[in-house]
Amino acid sequence: MSDTTLTASVPLRWVGPLHITGNVGDIETEVPLATYESPLWPSVGRGAKISRLVGPGIVATLVDERMTRSVLVRAEDAQTAYMAALEVDARLDELREIVRTCGRFVELIGFHHEITAHLLYLRFDFTTGDASGHNMATLAADALLAHILKTIPGISYGSISGNYCTDKKATAVNGILGRGKNVITELTIPRDIVRDNLHTTAAAVAELNVHKNLIGTLLAGGIRSANAHYANMLLGIYLATGQDAANIIEGSQGVTVAEDRDGDLYFSCTLPNLILGTVGNGKGLDFVEENLTRLGCREEREPGENARRLAVITAATVLCGELSLLAAQTNPGELMQAHVRLERDNKTAKIGE
Amino acid sequence: MSDTTLTASVPLRWVGPLHITGNVGDIETEVPLATYESPLWPSVGRGAKISRLVGPGIVATLVDERMTRSVLVRAEDAQTAYMAALEVDARLDELREIVRTCGRFVELIGFHHEITAHLLYLRFDFTTGDASGHNMATLAADALLAHILKTIPGISYGSISGNYCTDKKATAVNGILGRGKNVITELTIPRDIVRDNLHTTAAAVAELNVHKNLIGTLLAGGIRSANAHYANMLLGIYLATGQDAANIIEGSQGVTVAEDRDGDLYFSCTLPNLILGTVGNGKGLDFVEENLTRLGCREEREPGENARRLAVITAATVLCGELSLLAAQTNPGELMQAHVRLERDNKTAKIGE
Amino acid sequence: MSDTTLTASVPLRWVGPLHITGNVGDIETEVPLATYESPLWPSVGRGAKISRLVGPGIVATLVDERMTRSVLVRAEDAQTAYMAALEVDARLDELREIVRTCGRFVELIGFHHEITAHLLYLRFDFTTGDASGHNMATLAADALLAHILKTIPGISYGSISGNYCTDKKATAVNGILGRGKNVITELTIPRDIVRDNLHTTAAAVAELNVHKNLIGTLLAGGIRSANAHYANMLLGIYLATGQDAANIIEGSQGVTVAEDRDGDLYFSCTLPNLILGTVGNGKGLDFVEENLTRLGCREEREPGENARRLAVITAATVLCGELSLLAAQTNPGELMQAHVRLERDNKTAKIGE
Amino acid sequence: MSDTTLTASVPLRWVGPLHITGNVGDIETEVPLATYESPLWPSVGRGAKISRLVGPGIVATLVDERMTRSVLVRAEDAQTAYMAALEVDARLDELREIVRTCGRFVELIGFHHEITAHLLYLRFDFTTGDASGHNMATLAADALLAHILKTIPGISYGSISGNYCTDKKATAVNGILGRGKNVITELTIPRDIVRDNLHTTAAAVAELNVHKNLIGTLLAGGIRSANAHYANMLLGIYLATGQDAANIIEGSQGVTVAEDRDGDLYFSCTLPNLILGTVGNGKGLDFVEENLTRLGCREEREPGENARRLAVITAATVLCGELSLLAAQTNPGELMQAHVRLERDNKTAKIGE
């Protein structure tokens, strides 16, 4: 391995500003998107503009946050695995104490288990302050696992990760049990703005959403997902803010809902698995520090507040891009025309999917 | 939107070299990995070293390549949708001609459809030379859709993308019908190298693979996926080579197989959905050009050859990182110790998941 | 094992008649439903009545039919597996001849393969006349497998079934590649019939379908499925007509679409995996013979015609029950009231789910 | 609808006896299987014989039991949905009291919720004594829903079932959060019994299980499932004991684990979603009453004890059939030969899948 650290310099632009309200705060900010797909910038920009035109802007509701790690232990048999699971459950207070010794910001807040044959999967939930929490969770899980193996008979080490966490894999468990921030964004757009700024109608967007995102993804064999391209916006903002962008995999699993409300468009993106943070890995780089600062995510606040701010900004950015692409796809040829025009302008050319 | 293009400069190192053989060629090359998670470098490096110690190195078999786009049309009813599907199927030669007008490198090679209620999802398969092919496929699909709507009665425009493609979403259809390069990598490691270089045994890795990757992912509700962290390696090489890294989402769906063969370890990673190219978006940047050149992927070759070379290099890199992490996880505490050591050395600290 | 064959006598009633049109024929028939859940009878009956009130009745479009079996072979390595797959593909004519020797009604019509590591899954598609075709397909696959193993080097027996068929398991492959009959049923119900007979509105049913069947199932982690209770109707008619009712598992994977068309209700059920037949196992029993005869499915017809008739009758029955339950669930308390009333009348009481 | 209730008389035989131990009791009993697929009888019989040859027999561990119903409410927006969810959670004691008024045997034991856009899915868990509990759960959920709508502002009726329960659909939520009985069965078979009675080896069964049940199902796009044919055994015993056999759909989702332990075969079936009861719908029929009595499931016991007994008997029966089929599939041609022989003997002929 070379000792020289080079860089991959991904083009980045600031887009917006977006207007966001909701239970994390009233926010008006531009957002940085790093991407090789430059049409993403005007696409998100179009949504951002609408967020500024509409009363409360994008309303973001953060409904959960946790980081998880599942360890795997092997028992002599199912009965022993079952006894061990009951024992872990009975000792949660004790385990909570052990986790407290692992760091100032990490706390054990939940536990779930599942047994298959003689295998016991123990999934622990933690809060991790402003960090995305991979490392804190692994460190804590390591301590918990060592303690459990030492004090509960009949079981042995299986793995520090049993893939039931689940990290960087698209599964159902994260959405059902929670992992990362769970943020719902909503925007209700008056009929005339839908017509003038999105060149479409609420009915057309609502119908497309059912046919494409809900039924199309279902037929493709999707798992807990119904959207056009959350992944694009997530990648852009994750790279720009020093996140582990491989977490766009679970991040990409979310649900777009669009409703025709008497001609106005109710548009919502639910992102149950937003893994991100404002401290930790990747955050020490100068441009990351600058970007986070400009986003207002490096302020002196209660632990977790900066990360929650980043979460709702990210989720709102996703809504902007999703709205823009869906609106474009209601019109035959629009996507391709945008593509050709942007290609000419930018010498690069992929929009949306 | 700002007019200034900045950059997100993701740290990058060259790792290896890897030794690769198989049906795309005999390759020995270092690989560039751009990541905020620096422990990824020594992790992949460990696998790369083993690839050089073992006879044929990593054997990579490319078994398929195609890019797809599904369009959605709405029919008056199911019977009309069915008639339209039959008609499209009957006219494939005609459609092939239309696609030929869309570009020198794009060719229609397959077609699949599915009907639900009055909705008809038409999924077209293309070869796209050395490009990943998103744009070519969209351009061709746009032309096909226009032609189909003009010449087949009873149907109307639904969407240029019906999410049955499927792009940047984790689904089952890509693996079953194909999308991107489908590459299988294999490495058989003698018992003493397993012991000395991976500090484990073939039996331990094989057992862990069943318990964690196969059963653990299954319990998590995964879809067509059984691996520890393909996403990490894919992200690193995608960023370094100018790929649309949002395609790690389908790329992350693959299957690790590990077998104890009389003490030797047979280790294999199957990546059915590798979306990548050596020309097109993102490839004009200087560092990308340099990286692709150093990888030997900018040579004068038959169209598609450079992209296939990049595909097997990428798949082999995935194997290196997957092998290294799984081996580490067979030993209690090893992951955490590596983490702490690397954290001290690199001031950054996440390995694997 | 006891030598005495007893019976489980499942209560059965004839419901209807239903009126069905479409590409299999114009059919008016009652349908037999065997079930321990007697409220199913009036529930389906309500839908059947509407099918008679509406012009063309339920329009059923059969768009595909095939039975499949996947065999598994183990190759020395991926490259050998790939060569074997190409070889099988090249010899399809030869394989077709072998299948012809396996029976008068079985014919090889398709082939699909997938490789993972050194494992090769070969999925063969057959037409099987009026039989559901499990046995014909297994017999033919056995002959094909023996021939392949004898004539293609480097591969050995893995399994006569590799679970990629897929039989009696809920997966994505059956819907994507086809297995059983694929039938789409549609019924457009005028606004006043929706109001008078279903006590609801098209808008309410359409909205419920999106919220419950599409989004609810998605959140639950469903796979290629969006319906309320196809399984109930399928079980009833499968038991009544001598089918292997374990095939309700893939049968239960289907998609309900409901649309408000200016106050009229467009209602559609797509059942891509209907496994059934009118000859073969279970069909020799007297009551089965009587039921099939009364359904008009034991006539002298071209091979396959009787089974296709049974398929559309089954699919239309599913629509009747699905429509009735969804309509009921739009009204708070209606399901429970029906339940209590029927419980009093029938001394038994479960409706729908 | 006809007023006459007829019957579908499904052939039934008693198979066994099976020997079962574990945390529900020491049981030796024959089991009744109603099926049109007569080869199922000797197949299960072979497994049953082995259960009698091996020390503790089949060890069954029941690790959970609950019945669930999810209701759907629509909120004005996500924030209101979130407030409502918190409110429901805060009032669980109050809700528990309401459920107590719904019946002697029903008790609220858990609650889970999920929000998407402005939709709130409330999933309630109940114990239901010896009943499978569909009706009790629906009745209780109806009361809870009425109470919630009356006392929590900003929400309105969505559906009495939001498909997040999930009933008779294959999803991930049931396995992760629990629904029905969760039973793990294990049998360790000495090497010579594997050879003499199953005509195979532990290594061959273990390898087949990985290649077919784990990898094959994964490639097929299965969801939380890895087995050959649980559905067949479940259907047989469900019909024989008056269960709602449409619940084989979630029942069919389970995981087979097979390990070669120094030549002995460790074989295990985990069935996380066994929906069944010994009272309620279908149980009033004479033959059902007789069958349940003969199974020892109509004794005077604590509420729930009879149902738990039936659950472990059912799970053990599943193991017998699964073991027998997998063993057969390790040998080329054996399945087909058994088929032909049994066809001749029984004039009917499908075994396993």
- Around Cβ C263, how many Cβ atoms within 10 Å? 13
pLDDT in tens, C278-312: 999 888 899 999 999 999 999 999 999 999 999 99
C-beta of residue B177 within 8 angstroms of C-beta of residue D219 = no
Instruction: Decide if C339 is catalytic.
Output: yes
CA distance C166 to D216: 9
pLDDT at A281: 81
Give strand pairing partners of A257: A268
| pLDDT over 70 (residue B1) | no
Q: Which residues in C lie closer than 8 A to residue A215 (C-beta atoms)?
A: 214, 226, 255, 257
Alpha helix segments (H runs only) across B255-333? 286-294, 305-329
Rounded to 5, what percent of chain B is helix, strand, coil? 40, 30, 30
- Residues of chain D with pLDDT > 90, as a percent, come to 91
With beta carbons less than 8 A apart as the criterion, state whether D318 and D185 touch.
yes
Separation between Cα atoms, residue D353 and residue D120, nearest integer Å = 39
Is the Cβ pair C186, B78 closer than 8 Å? yes
List domains and CATH numbers for chain C.
13-64+180-339 (3.90.770.10), 67-159 (3.30.70.420)
State ipTM.
0.96
Confidence band for D337, pLDDT divided at 50, 70 and 90:
confident
Q: Which of C219, C221, C226 sits opposite A218 (nearest CB)?
A: C226
Q: pLDDT digit string (tens) for A64-93? A: 999 999 999 999 999 999 999 999 999 999
Residue owning tokens 């003490």: B263
List residues in chain D touching A: CB distance below 8 A. 22-23, 59, 61, 63, 77-79, 82, 85, 112, 114-119, 171-173, 175-177, 182, 184, 186, 221, 223-224, 255, 257, 266, 268, 270, 272
pLDDT tens digits for range C38-70: 999 999 999 999 999 999 999 999 999 999 999
Summarize the confidence of residues A17-35 as an average pLDDT. Answer: 98
Dig out the tokens for C13 from the structure.
């009633």
Which tokens in the block code for residue D103? Answer: 């019946």
Alpha carbon separation from C48 to A205, A254, C198, D1, D177 (Å, rounded): 34, 38, 12, 9, 37
| pLDDT on residue B24 | 98
> Which long-range CB contacts under 8 A does D260-264 form with residues at least 24 apart?
D260/D201, D260/D202, D260/D203, D260/D205, D260/D206, D261/D188, D261/D202, D262/D191, D263/D191, D263/D194, D263/D201, D263/D202, D264/D188, D264/D189, D264/D190, D264/D191, D264/D194, D264/D202
Q: Which of B215, B218, B224 sits opposite D219 (nearest CB)?
A: B224
Interface contact C117-B79, CB threshold 8 A: no
**Residue D326, token pair as written in the block:** 């997998």
* Given the residues A142, A244, A334, A343, the one annotated as active site: A244
- Please report residues of A whose CB lies closer than 8 A to that of B347: 284
Shortest Cα distance from D132 to chain A (angstroms)? Answer: 22
pLDDT-based confidence at B353, cuts 50/70/90? low
pLDDT tens-place string over residues A125-140: 999 999 999 999 999 9
Among residues B144, B317, B300, the alpha carbon closest in space to that of B240 is found at B317
Contact C218 A214 (CB under 8 A): yes
Q: What is the pLDDT of residues B221-249, one digit of tens each?
A: 999 999 999 999 999 999 999 999 999 99
| Given A19, A37, A113, A167, the catalytic residue | A37
Contacts of B211 in chain A (CB under 8 A): 72, 74, 119, 158-159, 162
Q: Is the pLDDT of residue D349 over 60?
A: no
Distance CA C143, CA A235 (A): 50
Residue C327 pLDDT class (50, 70, 90 cuts): very high
> Is-catalytic flag, B244?
yes
pLDDT reported for residue A337:
73
Flag whether pLDDT at D143 surpasses 80: yes
pLDDT of residue D350: 45
How far off is chain A from B169, nearest CA to CA, in Å?
A: 7
**Is residue A350 pLDDT above 60, yes or no?**
no
pLDDT band at C177 (very low <50, low <70, confident <90, very high): very high
On the question of pLDDT at B17 being above 60, the answer is yes
With an 8 Å Cβ cutoff, are A175 and D114 in contact?
yes
What pLDDT score was predicted for residue D183? 98
Q: In this model, does residue A353 exceed pLDDT 70?
A: no
> What is d(CA A41, CA A33) in angstroms, rounded to the nearest whole number?
7
**Neighbors of chain D with 3 or more C-beta pairs under 8 Å:** A, B, C
Query: Which of chain A's residues have a Cβ under 8 Å away from the Cβ of B253?
Result: 170
Residue D111 and residue D123 in contact, taking contact as beta carbons nearer than 8 Å: yes
Burial of C192 (0-12, 13-18, 19+ CB in 10 A): exposed
Cα D44 to Cα D233: distance, rounded to the nearest angstrom: 8
Highest mean pLDDT among A280-284, B186-190, B335-339, C349-353: B186-190
Confidence of residue B6 (pLDDT cuts 50, 70, 90): very high
- Across the range C14-20, mean pLDDT stands at 98
Contact B84, B152 (CB under 8 A): yes
C232 pLDDT tier (thresholds 50, 70, 90): very high
pLDDT reading at B49 higher than 60: yes
- Sort strands D180-189 and D255-261 into parallel, antiparallel or unpaired: unpaired
Using a CB-CB distance cutoff of 8 angstroms, which residues of chain C are in contact with residue A203? none
Share of chain B above pLDDT 90, in %: 92
User: Coil, strand or helix: which one is B240?
Assistant: helix
Q: Which chains touch C (3 or more CB pairs under 8 A)?
A: A, B, D
Q: Which one, of A101, A177, A275, lies nearest residue B350 by Cα?
A: A275
The residue annotated as part of the active site, out of B244, B289, B305, B334, is: B244
CA distance D249 to chain A (A): 18
Distance CA C232, CA C248 (A): 9
**C273 interaction partners in chain B (CB closer than 8 Å):** none
What is the pLDDT, as a whole number, of residue A349? 41
Distance CA(A6)–CA(B9), nearest Å, equals 9
| Cross-chain residue pair D78–A85, CB shorter than 8 Å | no
Decide if D37 is catalytic.
yes
Q: Where are the alpha helices (DSSP H) in chain C?
A: 40-53, 78-90, 92-100, 134-151, 173-177, 191-198, 202-208, 217-219, 230-240, 248-251, 286-294, 305-329, 334-346
Q: Select the residue from A173, A214, A217 to test the C interface by mutation, using most C Cβ atoms within 10 A.
A: A214
Residue B126 has pLDDT above 90, yes or no: yes
- Summarised one tens digit per residue, pLDDT across range B279-307 is 998 888 999 999 999 999 999 999 999 99
In the structure, what pLDDT confidence band is assigned to residue C343 with cuts at 50, 70 and 90? low
Q: Which residues of B touch D218 (CB under 8 A)?
A: 214, 218, 224-226, 255
Strand bridging mode C255-261 / C264-274: antiparallel
CA dihedral C194, C200, C201, C204 (to 10 degrees): -140
Res B348: pLDDT: 42
Q: How far is Cα B183 from Cα C85, in angstroms, rounded to an integer?
A: 15
Q: What is the pLDDT of residue B15?
A: 98
The pLDDT score that the predictor gives to residue A339 is 62
Look-up: residue for tokens 């089954």?
C314
- Does B349 have pLDDT greater than 50? no
Lookup: tokens for A334:
């629009």
Q: Does residue B339 have a pLDDT over 60?
A: yes
Asked if pLDDT for residue A62 goes beyond 60, the answer is yes
